[in-house]
Every structure is written in structure tokens, then in C-alpha cells.
Amino acid sequence: MYTGKVTVQYRKGILDPQAQAVHSAVKSLGYNSVKDVEQRKEFCLKLDCENKEQAKNQLEEICQKLLANPAIEDYQFTVEEE
Amino acid sequence: MYTGKVTVQYRKGILDPQAQAVHSAVKSLGYNSVKDVEQRKEFCLKLDCENKEQAKNQLEEICQKLLANPAIEDYQFTVEEE
């Protein structure tokens, strides 16, 4: 069994309205020390693959097809054997 | 300037409908090797605080008041000086 950890975030230069909303909310609570907020999604998948190479290939495909929108998002992932 | 990294995830035993939806979508694409999917939110905040202790205290408050719902979510965070 392999564990894949995927991080998905907006590409540099793409505005993230959710992170902006969090930043506004933080400031409205009085925390003016907060100068920037970024938000990412993290996915943790358990893969029952025959070897690490297969797990990596499948995870790469899943990222491209489903977890990230390559037009506006970047992703990184790691795969570890359990 | 300090960088705070916060990870928010559902508490153990709380069903995560979004992760379940991702798992269903992954399986419907034919990836039956995927046995489990978990999803987390990650926030990265820049804090202009006088010292690390102050940054940690503010981040703890922000997590409790805004970033996590303590009834159903757990959070962890780290603070590093830049």
C-alpha cells in the first residue's frame, strides 16, 4: 500500500478569492498584523499498487484529470510506501 | 515577519462528504487501486509580529475563531521566522 500526498494551489498571479475572504475576515477581527493569506488543498490517498512507479503514474494522472485544474492551479505530490 | 502554516482537517470519525465525492470520482475514472481519500485545508499566513510568541498566540486565536470549526475539525500549526 502506498500513501500519496497531493498539494494543490493557485498558480502565481491567479487571484484566490477564498484566501482574500479569509484575509478580510482576519482583519475584521482586528488582527492587523496579518499581511498575507494563502490557501491550499491537500489530499491524502491510499493506493493499492504493485510498485511505487505505478502509484506515482496513477497519482499523476489523477492530479491532472481530477484534483487540479492545470489552467489555474499547480500541484505537487509525494508517494511513500507504508 | 513570521510565516504561520495551519492545517485543518475533520476530526476522526466525522464524515467528510467532499473527500468521499473525490473518492467516488476517482473510482468512476477507473482507478480502483485508490482505497481511501482524505482532504485537508492548508493556510499560509504572513504575520508582522514583534516576536514568535506573539505570532503563535495570534495564530492560535485565529485558528479557533475563524480557520477551524473546533466542533468537527482539528488543526495544527507551525510558526517560523522569515
A36–chain B Cβ distance below 8 A for any pair: yes
A5-33 pLDDT, tens per residue? 999 999 999 999 999 999 999 999 999 99
* Contact present, A9 and A40 (Cβ < 8 Å): yes
Residue B62 pLDDT > 90: yes
Q: How far apart are CA A63 and CA A6, in angstroms?
A: 8
Q: What is the CA radius of gyration of chain A?
A: 16
Q: Does B8 touch chain A (CB under 8 A)?
A: no
Kindly state the percentage of chain A with pLDDT values over 90. Answer: 96
Three-state secondary structure call for residue B8: strand
Q: ipTM score here?
A: 0.86
Tell me if A58 and B25 make a contact (CB, 8 A cut-off): no
Contact list, A49 vs chain B (CB under 8 Å): 33
Which three-class secondary structure state does DSSP give residue B77? strand
